[in-house]
Amino acid sequence: MRMPAIPLGRRHLALPVAAVLVAGCVVPLAVLVVFSFFVVEDFELLPAFSGRAWYELATTASYWWLIGKAVLSGVAAAVFTALAGYPVALALAGVPASWKGVGVVVLLTPLYTGEIVRIYAWRIVLGSEGLVNAVLEGLGLAAEPVKWLLFTPFTTALVLTYNNLPFMVLAIWVSVEMVDRRLIEAARDLGARPFQAFVKVTLPLTTPGLAAGVFAVFALAAGEMLTPSLLGGTSGQTAMAMIDTLFGTAFDWPMASALALGLLAALFAGAAGLAFALMRLDGARAVLARTTR
């Protein structure tokens, strides 16, 4: 006997996605909220409605500093990768079609290695006996090894930009490929110089890809723990490392939960700030376009 077909609407098809989102996002956050009000006594986690963790989070300057540093690190990495990735995406879109696949493979090659390998490779390149210092000393630009090339915020920002550059380039490249070349040719035929055509045509049409890359890099860099720890020196402490310590060796799950939720709220605020900045990009572009007439 043939079973009657069950009609499926859009709401039914969305149910599996909603179930995954609830199980993967809502439930873990709810667990963190509950744990943040627990107390720890004699290495035992006890259910209690205590606001001790939230009070410490609100009154401890070091926690605020770690959260603020995570947001700043994410914003800096997003800005630097956007500035470095946009020209690469334009160049990749401009190569012949038969070479685009090669370009993508070369772009993604660093990701085939582990993050630890890339970090230690940079330590070798930037170290006192590394390639950069050897070149500087060989050219007479430095009398001794440059110390600030390693274990400083500069090193952390440089490697975070390098690690996340492929994600930014791919996001922008997809948008550039979707731009109708006839629009650029029309702008050139009307007398626009290459930079004017870029500002008035290419940049506004690729803003969605730029936004996708910015948000992806911001989230990845703000939550990074290994790179700042291994390359940031004494300034390499991160909110994620503190959360790991609180959950692990300190066994202070309420404080770790409160800090994780505070960090999450700060990251959402940072993402909202980036979204506002991207929305203002059209206004800045209009001003830039008027100055290039």
Assess if residue 29 is contained within a domain: no
Q: Provide the number of structural domains found in the chain.
A: 1
pLDDT above 80: residue 285: no
Residue 216 covered by a domain: yes
Report if residue 255 sits inside a domain: yes
* 132 in a structural domain: no
Is 58 a domain residue? no
Q: What is the pLDDT of residues 22-46, one digit of tens each?
A: 888 899 999 999 999 999 888 888 8
Flag whether 57 is in a domain: no
d(CA 142, CA 133): 8
Amino acid making up residue 235? S
Q: CA-CA distance, 59 to 51, in Å (whole number)?
A: 12
Segment 226-280, tens digit of pLDDT: 888 888 877 778 999 999 999 988 899 999 999 999 999 999 998 888 888 887 7
Q: What angle separates helix 253-279 from helix 239-247, to the nearest 10 degrees? A: 160
Residue 11 lies in a domain: no
Tell whether 260 is covered by a domain. Answer: yes
Single pTM value for the model: 0.84
Range of the domain at 256: 73-93+102-112+164-289
Rounded distance, CA 26 to CA 17, Å?
A: 13
